[in-house]
């Protein structure tokens, strides 16, 4: 219709330009892999991002090309986010904790043209280099003085930037252009790529800035402990500049004492990450008998936040926001900041409310359905598989027709594989997981892949891999196995046998021998019953400390 609003594309470069202009004093402080700390403001970041964008263009990178990063949280990684996406290429963040097989698969599947890596990850690439594309360019994210010896030809990041102009007119293109790519582990087989668009990324940044508003604020320092290779650090590299908050990037040291010292020094107000890292920080807070000076807000997601952890933070006057989401959702779906009337409730009731996964953010619709796909009431009692819909939810997977075909239901909702209830106040409670995955320290392990690998050992007739509770890692995999004869392979033999296909941390911690596995009516192993049977099971490490 004539006389309507303008259409300006929602591009991530507009966030950077805005922050450079309107939030000149805010910026980024990073613990560098070189060992020191680096700080600059958004205008200074913008100059280097322009230089990097020119350097990428000079190497022929153009709209739609994939450029990979294998890096910790630091300012150079932030620069890559904006430079790559700014020129219309796709920033593919790689998780260094993947197994060698998975890493080889995703780099080839994404057809990455350049791979930027931190010095610490040189051994990872050296080990798989011969399986990566021959014409790949490698750039080490450091200066000449710190360039490591590499068994493959590599460029130096700082040299790449040298001599490039510090200004750029960011190109304008369709807001539905791909912006970044993040692979997530599937229940079996190869990881699947979630491809974010500029539009979805900008909208998601708006969404979290509004729904998680307690964490944000102009001039506040926010610490993404969640890696930039985990769903764009939950959107923080976009939402922080948008609101004029500063980012504190922790580099590789994520243990409690290192985080405490960094937060204290940089006056971090809000910190975001998975429960595993908060175990370490809480222990340090207890050891020191105080919290980091300005610490007032923690966002816990990726796995369920244990009640004791929520209580631990809240008792120190640190407000907990318990978030739920997925790689496929950019990622934030729900967030547990309480409505005002609930804030007035007694402490115990508030903690119980915060242990739930919270209410949906604007832009995400939720439904729970029964086994036949029929929507269930949101009465806090009915439990069903959780489906979601929204502007920042995938409609399929990158170049993966098979997985894409299974992703959505007939009405176009995305199936999360989580089993949940939703109460009349809108609070989501994740009750179980329908997908065959184990989450350890915020990272996935495919139970089906573990089972298939273990079953190729002659001594195992049948087995099931399940996640058992672990105080530090949230869950750890154990194998419940039925022997095929008298001779049972030992745990070490099983681990040895399957180790070529998995990262070390993905191997099972224990094997439990049983006569038979519980089955469902349709003849599948009933993981639900198995988990019930093992309620009293204790992880070997807990037995040792008991």
- The residues of the shown chain that bind ligand AMP, judged by CB under 6 A, are 184, 231, 301-304, 322-324, 326-327, 331, 357, 416-418, 430, 433, 439
Helix (H), strand (E) at residue 210:
helix 198-211
293: annotated active-site residue: no
- Spatial separation of the C-alpha atoms in residues 317 and 313, rounded to whole Å: 7
Of 291, 356, 439, 527, catalytic: 439
Q: How far is CA 421 from CA 24, 33, 368, in A?
A: 44, 43, 7
Q: Is the peptide bond before 331 cis (omega within 30 degrees of 0)?
A: yes
Of 328, 385, 443, 475, catalytic: 328
- Backbone dihedral angles phi then psi of residue 165, each to the nearest 5 degrees: -65, 145
Residue closer to ligand AMP (CB basis): 291 or 356: 356
Short-list 234, 178, 205, 239, CA closest to 396: 178
| Helix residue spans in 273-400 (DSSP H) | 275-288, 307-315, 340-343, 347-355
Residue closer to ligand AMP (CB basis): 138 or 414: 414
The residue at minimum Cβ distance from ligand AMP is 327
162: annotated active-site residue: no
Residue closer to ligand AMP (CB basis): 451 or 474: 474
Give burial (CB, 10 Å; 0-12/13-18/19+) of 158. middle
Helix, strand, or coil (residue 375) = strand
Give burial (CB, 10 Å; 0-12/13-18/19+) of 252. middle
Whether the Cβ atoms of residue 70 and residue 118 lie closer than 8 Å to each other: yes
Residue 94 Cβ, how far from ligand AMP at the closest point, in Å?
Answer: 14
Residue 529 Cβ, how far from ligand AMP at the closest point, in Å?
Answer: 20
33: annotated active-site residue: no
Residue 92 Cβ, how far from ligand AMP at the closest point, in Å?
Answer: 16
Residue closer to ligand AMP (CB basis): 27 or 358: 358
Residue closer to ligand AMP (CB basis): 113 or 439: 439
Residue 468 Cβ, how far from ligand AMP at the closest point, in Å?
Answer: 16
Residue 9 Cβ, how far from ligand AMP at the closest point, in Å?
Answer: 27
Of 444, 451, 473, 475, catalytic: 444
Per-residue DSSP letter, 509: S
349: annotated active-site residue: no
Residue 423 Cβ, how far from ligand AMP at the closest point, in Å?
Answer: 15
Residue closer to ligand AMP (CB basis): 383 or 430: 430
Of 184, 276, 334, 416, catalytic: 184
- Spatial separation of the C-alpha atoms in residues 483 and 238, rounded to whole Å: 52
For residue 336, the number of C-alpha atoms closer than 13 Å in the C-beta half-sphere is 29
Residue closer to ligand AMP (CB basis): 386 or 460: 386
Helix (H), strand (E) at residue 234:
helix 231-234
Chain centre distance of CA 228: 8
Residue 3 Cβ, how far from ligand AMP at the closest point, in Å?
Answer: 43
Whether the Cβ atoms of residue 151 and residue 128 lie closer than 8 Å to each other: no
Residues known to be catalytic: 184, 328, 439, 444
């Amino acid at each position: 219709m004539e006389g309507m609003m303008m259409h300006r594309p929602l591009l991530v470069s507009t966030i950077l330009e805005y922050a450079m202009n309107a939030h000149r004093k805010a910026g980024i402080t990073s613990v560098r892999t070189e060992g020191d700390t680096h700080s600059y403001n958004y205008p200074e970041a913008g100059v280097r991002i322009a230089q990097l964008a020119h350097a990428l263009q000079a190497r022929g990178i153009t709209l739609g090309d994939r450029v990979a990063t294998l890096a910790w949280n630091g300012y150079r990684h932030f620069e890559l986010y904006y430079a790559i996406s700014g020129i219309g290429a796709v920033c593919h963040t790689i998780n260094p904790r993947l197994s060698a097989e998975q890493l080889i698969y995703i780099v080839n599947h994404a057809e990455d043209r350049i791979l930027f890596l931190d010095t610490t990850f040189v051994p990872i690439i050296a080990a798989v280099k011969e399986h990566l594309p021959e014409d790949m360019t490698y750039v080490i994210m450091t200066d000449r003085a710190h360039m490591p010896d590499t068994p493959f030809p590599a460029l130096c990041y700082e040299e790449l930037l040298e001599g490039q102009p510090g200004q750029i007119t960011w190109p304008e293109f369709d807001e539905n252009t791909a912006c970044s790519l993040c692979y997530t582990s599937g229940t079996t087989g190869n990881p699947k790529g979630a491809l974010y668009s500029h539009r979805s990324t900008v909208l998601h940044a708006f969404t979290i800035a509004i729904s998680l508003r307690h964490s944000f604020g102009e001039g506040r320092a926010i610490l993404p402990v969640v890696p930039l290779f985990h769903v764009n650090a939950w959107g923080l590299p976009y939402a922080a500049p948008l609101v004029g908050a500063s980012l504190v990037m922790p580099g590789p040291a994520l243990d409690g004492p290192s985080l405490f010292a960094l937060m204290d020094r940089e006056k971090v107000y809000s910190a975001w990450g998975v429960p595993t890292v908060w175990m370490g920080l809480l222990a340090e807070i207890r050891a020191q008998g105080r919290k980091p000076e300005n610490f007032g807000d923690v966002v816990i997601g990726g796995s369920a936040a244990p009640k004791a952890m929520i209580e631990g933070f809240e008792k120190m006057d640190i407000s907990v926001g318990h978030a739920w989401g997925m790689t496929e959702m950019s990622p934030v779906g729900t967030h547990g900041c309480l409505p005002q009337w609930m804030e007035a409730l007694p402490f115990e009731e508030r903690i119980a409310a915060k242990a739930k996964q919270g209410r949906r953010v604007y832009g995400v619709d939720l439904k729970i359905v029964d086994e036949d796909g029929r929507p269930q009431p949101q009465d806090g009692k009915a439990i069903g598989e959780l489906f979601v819909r929204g502007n920042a939810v995938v409609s399929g997977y990158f170049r993966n027709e098979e997985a894409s075909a299974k992703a959505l239901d007939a009405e176009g909702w995305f199936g999360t594989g989580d089993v949940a209830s939703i109460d009349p106040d809108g609070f989501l409670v994740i009750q179980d997981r329908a997908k065959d995955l184990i989450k350890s320290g915020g990272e996935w392990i495919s139970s089906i892949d573990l089972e298939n690998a273990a079953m190729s050992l002659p001594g195992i007739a049948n087995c099931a891999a399940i996640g058992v509770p672990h105080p530090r890692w949230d869950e750890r995999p154990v194998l419940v196995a039925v022997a095929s004869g008298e001779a049972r392979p030992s745990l070490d033999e099983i681990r040895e046998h399957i180790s070529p296909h998995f990262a070390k941390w993905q191997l099972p911690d224990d094997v439990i021998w049983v006569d038979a596995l519980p089955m469902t009516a349709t003849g599948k192993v009933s993981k639900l019953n198995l988990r019930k049977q093992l309620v009293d099971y204790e992880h070997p490490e807990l037995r040792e400390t008991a």
